[in-house]
Structure 1
Amino acid sequence: MTVPLGSVPQSGPEHIPDEAAATSAVDPADVLAGLGSSWTWILGSAVTTLVPGILILVWPDETLHVLAVLIGLYLLVTGGFRFVAAFARQEHGERLAGLLLSVLFVLAGVLCLRNPMQTIAALSLIVGVVWLVSGMLTAYTALAAKDLPHRGFVFGAAALGIVAGIVVLALPAESALALTRLLGVWLVLLGVAELVLAFAWRAALHRSRTADRRGTTATV
């Protein structure tokens, strides 16, 4: 799940000395952090997960080749979203975990696209491992981040990813149709969970801006 783990960024204006503003350059990491902490970025990640799941369920009779391509594209795009979201994490350890997780998604996506005619067991193994590791890391960082808004939602989404990984790994599908339905259902569930997180994060940002404006008005 693409979730900016950390406190809600404050939206109030910050005073920057003229000399510092003139001499400072734009830091790409700061740009990525601002993008990754945006609720619309989480929404984009949710759509990236939800759309392949719907497509897989709508066309369950497609070949294993098509399924592998859809899963591969999902993993690649999600890896990109997670890479940017990792910069929104304030702690160095959390950022490193996010970056490693994004690399895992990209590598898994490349494996699916590089050999789309692979066996059902291989595709199940790739997706199951990615979901399991992703859910475990998200759960750990959700517990470690003390000031994380809506921690319950984040932990619930992480638990869903863990369960999805365990189910795919423990119950390997014996046919392409069974695997298609299994992966499609889990993608839709994970996508819906990310949609909930996106709007929860939007609400947290809105409350932060409202509190900041009230504080500014009170000091005037």
Structure 2
Amino acid sequence: MDRNLLAAERTVVLIRGVVGVLFGILAVVQPVSTAIALVMLWGFWALFEGIGALAQAFRASAGRPRFDYLLLGLTGLVAAFLAIFSPKLTATSLTWVLGLWLVVRGILEAVATFTHELVTPRWLFLPGAALSVLLGVFFMANPGRAAVGIAVLLGTIAIAWGLVFIASALLPRRAPSSAMTGEGN
């Protein structure tokens, strides 16, 4: 492998690591600001999720909207608009709204697992549905703390991965053996 390419790869990995550590430190030191930014990002995701669910509701068989997709879509849109247009207020209350959304989503997924014909095995959907309900209940019981906790957790994970990337970029690499590269055959 070309040494310049390896140096470029190390530089990119090093930059990714440094950015990860800096983001992580910022998230841990400023968890409320991070939570607000996450609220807005989540709001855009919920907006697209809600639009997608509404589109599915109106594509349902027999020309009638399916109630579960309609409910999921409307819940997603309400949560999205709260998050996008009032992020400071929503930063604390979003965990409650998110919790409600997760509970509704988890219940609908569990019901759909047994009432709809599925292409994939049912057991793949049930753990996700149960986790959605459990997280939803936790978030509704601890609004505010959950949002700040998520920001701190995200920051801690970013620091850890950033350090892994930095170490990967700075530690000497061994030359690949001929058995691994397929040479010498």
- State the TM bucket, normalised to the shorter chain: 0.5 to 0.7
| Shift of residue 181, structure 1, vs aligned partner | 4.6
The one-letter code of the counterpart of 2:82 is L
Structure 1 spans left out of the alignment, 5+ residues: 1-56, 185-220
Write out per-residue CA displacement over residues 47-77 of structure 1, whole angstroms, 9 at most, x where no aligned residue.
xxxxxxxxxx966346143122112112111
Is 2:79–2:97's contact at 8 Å kept on the other side of the alignment? yes
Q: Which residue of 2 aligns with 1:29?
A: none
- Please give the residue correspondences for 1:120-159 in structure 2 after superposition, counting only pairs within 5 Å: 120-145=91-116, 147-149=117-119, 150-159=121-130
The one-letter code of the counterpart of 2:124 is F
- Please give the residue correspondences for 1:159-170 in structure 2 after superposition, counting only pairs within 5 Å: 159-170=130-141
Is 1:94–1:141's contact at 8 Å kept on the other side of the alignment? no
CA distance 1:88–1:156, shift in 2 (3 Å): farther
Q: 1:76 aligns with which of 43, 47, 50?
A: 47
Separation in 2 of the partners of 1:82 and 1:166?
A: 23
Is 2:36–2:91's contact at 8 Å kept on the other side of the alignment? no
Write out per-residue CA displacement over residues 191-219 of structure 1, whole angstroms, 9 at most, x where no aligned residue.
xxxxxxxxxxxxxxxxxxxxxxxxxxxxx
CA distance 1:151–1:137, shift in 2 (3 Å): same
| Shift of residue 170, structure 1, vs aligned partner | 2.2
- Please give the residue correspondences for 1:37-186 in structure 2 after superposition, counting only pairs within 5 Å: 60=27, 61=30, 63=33, 64-87=35-58, 89-90=60-61, 95-118=66-89, 120-145=91-116, 147-149=117-119, 150-174=121-145, 177-181=148-152
The one-letter code of the counterpart of 2:47 is L
Is 2:57–2:66's contact at 8 Å kept on the other side of the alignment? yes
Is 2:39–2:91's contact at 8 Å kept on the other side of the alignment? no
Q: Which residue of 1 aligns with 2:19?
A: none
Larger CA Rg, structure 1 vs 2: 2
Is 1:120–1:179's contact at 8 Å kept on the other side of the alignment? no
Separation in 2 of the partners of 1:109 and 1:74?
A: 8
| Shift of residue 120, structure 1, vs aligned partner | 4.3
Give the paired residue count: 127
The one-letter code of the counterpart of 2:142 is L
Separation in 2 of the partners of 1:119 and 1:83?
A: 23
Identity of aligned residues (%): 25
| Shift of residue 102, structure 1, vs aligned partner | 0.5
Separation in 2 of the partners of 1:140 and 1:153?
A: 14
Which sits farther off after the overlay, 170-179 or 87-96? 87-96
Write out per-residue CA displacement over residues 136-165 of structure 1, whole angstroms, 9 at most, x where no aligned residue.
1111121112x3232221222211211221
- Please give the residue correspondences for 1:2-21 in structure 2 after superposition, counting only pairs within 5 Å: none
Is 2:53–2:70's contact at 8 Å kept on the other side of the alignment? yes
Structure 2 spans left out of the alignment, 5+ residues: 1-22, 155-185
Separation in 1 of the partners of 2:72 and 2:146?
A: 29
| Shift of residue 127, structure 1, vs aligned partner | 0.8
Separation in 1 of the partners of 2:39 and 2:91?
A: 9
TM-score by structure 2 length?
0.56
